[in-house]
Structure 1
Amino acid sequence: MNRNRQERSVGRSVQEYLRGIVGGLLFSLPLLYTMEVWWAGYTMHPVRLLLYVLATFTLLLGYNRYGGLRCDASPAEVAIDSVEEMGIGIAISTVVLWLLGQLTFSLPISEVVGKIATESMTVAIGVSVGTAQLGGDSKSGDTGMENEPSQAQSHSGPFLSLEGSDISGQLAIATCGSVLFAANVAPTEEIFIIATQSNPYKLIGMALLSMLLGTIILFYSNFNGAQSFSQSRGIKNVLSGAVITYAIALVVSAAILWVFGRFDDTSAIVCLSETIVLGVAATLGASAGRLLLQ
């Protein structure tokens, strides 16, 4: 019994971390794609940057104390959670900024630290909110027992089943979510800049990151509404879910970029690169949006 309780506790902790990572990206991705924020990282005075970090940490302490996942947490636990969230925010910002070509070995250390610090503070707040508010068992306390899915969510059929009208409904909701997220950054110049500066390896990394995020959101993060997908985690179901979600994201990304004229007088390889770059945001919308919009 104790062993099972410990295993469930570890599983719950992993889900919280995954939910926090996704939440950090959900709430901060437009800023990670914004060059004005990149510039602020190395133009901001160190004193202002330090005050920004301290203010963010104070906000995290306040949120985790009054609106966090565990309302009965002690002051020490609140502080530990806040430090962890800042650490996750720094890690997420570092990886994404590197994939976007904004962190290189040729940059001075002060610019690297400034960019990461500036971006990671907003990401950290997103991590905190995502962990606490987007879970299927938010604020229910760590009882060691998983919530049972409701009758309406308890189906364990394959992802986007071809039976009945389920596939058309899921496709429609996924497309709406994808448009909602991708349209925020599609018209910006940053998409073209990132696309033209990214090498094939980073583009492949963005594609893999997109499919990984979609898989985590739908099958492993215990997001609100995810029970209807996570009941069936067979390899075939998970792989098909990742591929279909990413395919929807790429189609939506290409369509939005074309509408905004981003493909005009542009080579095919740059168009493909732009689609992959925007596909990260679109995949977040196609997967998380499917859960949040229905």
Structure 2
Amino acid sequence: MNDQSQRTLVRSLQEYLRGIAGGLLFSLPLLYTMEVWWAGFIAHPLRLLIYVLATFSLLLGYNRYGGLRRSASPLEVAIDSVEEMGLGLIIAAIFLWLLGRITADMSPDEIAGQIIVEAMTVAIGVSVGTAQLGGGEGDQQTDSGMKSNSSSADPDPTPFLTENNGDFGGQLTIALCGAVLFAANVAPTEEITQIAVESNSWRLVGFALVSMILGAMILFYSNFTGTQRFSKKRGIVNVIYGTVVTYAIALVASAAILWFFGRFDGMSLITCLAQTVVSGLAATLGASAGRLLLQ
């Protein structure tokens, strides 16, 4: 595989990662909302079909006029829209299963209805995230139209939340702000308690792993806006360290917000821990992607 092919593959993977993160950033509250779950049960198939067609039309329009490749041909716009729709369906299915909303005893109609209702918003988030959250590649254009080398502006970039980072305290504070901002959207709801009570230990482990994987992908591999200075030195130790610290911040923020809203009152220790892990997924998105958007 030549260098050009490798760059194209890396760019495509980064676009997919930004799409996944964007889909979750813009739709996560809906994935945690009981009313949206029930809408999937009661929606008529014709209504669902209209919903899908309307969303696909929106994707076509957005990709044509505001997408990542504005000079794309109609066929490329259609392909991008189909990919975003498919990615939205996959993300919605995975997270609905992780949240315990999809089970083996449900009928195919019930499963399909829930996935479709959630996936349409996720698909729009995928499209917006892919196009608008990118950090560019290589050299950046200045206002005067001249190219400036990123290394001259930041000669010694350091990874996110590493021990040798002189701005560790500032990064920690911003990450905590992002975690609180996102966790506060879901932590006060009854759905968090319901999901936590219904989740077994393996599902909670899944929540933790998915949270850390998402955090690592966003911070080090997605080419999000603002990540370039962190991802240039992404050795395995730095990636692991930054991911673990980010997740720890997310759990602290989740626990604090849950306690503030009285979600720990009268609950057992294991239920409190489960609630923290469940809401920690949103907090991790905030501590990573949200932190980048705050700066």
Q: Structure 1-normalised TM-score?
A: 0.94
Query: CA offset at residue 88 of structure 1?
Result: 0.3
In 2, Cα distance between equivalents of 1:154 and 1:290? 22
Query: CA offset at residue 228 of structure 1?
Result: 1.4
Contact (CA 8 Å) 1:155, 1:231: kept in 2 or not?
A: no
In 1, Cα distance between equivalents of 2:270 and 2:124? 36
Gap change, CA 1:108 and 1:161, over 3 Å in 2? closer
In 2, Cα distance between equivalents of 1:285 and 1:292? 9
In 2, Cα distance between equivalents of 1:161 and 1:48? 50
Query: CA offset at residue 47 of structure 1?
Result: 1.1
The CA deviation string for residues 149-205 of structure 1, in whole angstroms up to 9 with x for no partner, is 364445333432445750110011001100110001111000000000111111100
Query: CA offset at residue 6 of structure 1?
Result: 1.1
The answer to whether structure 1 residue 35 and structure 2 residue 34 are counterparts is yes
Number of aligned residues: 286
Alignment of 1:155-194 (within 5 A): 155-163=156-164, 165-194=166-195
RMSD: 1.6
Residue 18 (structure 2) aligns with:
19
Contact (CA 8 Å) 1:40, 1:118: kept in 2 or not?
A: yes
In 1, Cα distance between equivalents of 2:196 and 2:187? 12
Q: Which runs of 5+ in 1 are unaligned?
A: 141-146
Residue 215 (structure 2) aligns with:
214
In 2, Cα distance between equivalents of 1:55 and 1:164? 47
Q: Give percent identity, aligned residues only.
A: 66
Contact (CA 8 Å) 1:153, 1:227: kept in 2 or not?
A: no
The answer to whether structure 1 residue 255 and structure 2 residue 278 are counterparts is no
Gap change, CA 1:117 and 1:272, over 3 Å in 2? same
Alignment of 1:1-294 (within 5 A): 3-137=2-136, 149=150, 151-163=152-164, 165-294=166-295
Contact (CA 8 Å) 1:19, 1:135: kept in 2 or not?
A: yes
SS across alignment from 1:215: helix
Tell me the amino acid that sits aligned with residue 54 of structure 1.
L
Contact (CA 8 Å) 1:153, 1:225: kept in 2 or not?
A: no
The CA deviation string for residues 61-104 of structure 1, in whole angstroms up to 9 with x for no partner, is 00000000001000000000000000000000010000000001
Q: Which runs of 5+ in 2 are unaligned?
A: 140-147
Tell me the amino acid that sits aligned with residue 123 of structure 1.
V
Contact (CA 8 Å) 2:158, 2:165: kept in 1 or not?
A: no
In 1, Cα distance between equivalents of 2:248 and 2:153? 27
Q: Structure 2-normalised TM-score?
A: 0.94
In 1, Cα distance between equivalents of 2:77 and 2:68? 10
In 1, Cα distance between equivalents of 2:225 and 2:155? 13
The CA deviation string for residues 233-258 of structure 1, in whole angstroms up to 9 with x for no partner, is 11100000110000000000000000
In 2, Cα distance between equivalents of 1:197 and 1:53? 30
Gap change, CA 1:150 and 1:128, over 3 Å in 2? farther
Query: CA offset at residue 119 of structure 1?
Result: 0.2
In 2, Cα distance between equivalents of 1:148 and 1:58? 39
In 2, Cα distance between equivalents of 1:221 and 1:158? 14
In 2, Cα distance between equivalents of 1:152 and 1:202? 44
In 1, Cα distance between equivalents of 2:191 and 2:241? 31
In 2, Cα distance between equivalents of 1:163 and 1:136? 24
Residue 143 (structure 1) aligns with:
none
In 2, Cα distance between equivalents of 1:120 and 1:90? 5
Residue 143 (structure 2) aligns with:
none
The CA deviation string for residues 219-278 of structure 1, in whole angstroms up to 9 with x for no partner, is 000000001110111110000011000000000000000000000000000000000000
In 1, Cα distance between equivalents of 2:32 and 2:283? 13
In 2, Cα distance between equivalents of 1:233 and 1:164? 13
Contact (CA 8 Å) 1:33, 1:190: kept in 2 or not?
A: yes
In 1, Cα distance between equivalents of 2:70 and 2:165? 42
Query: CA offset at residue 21 of structure 1?
Result: 0.5
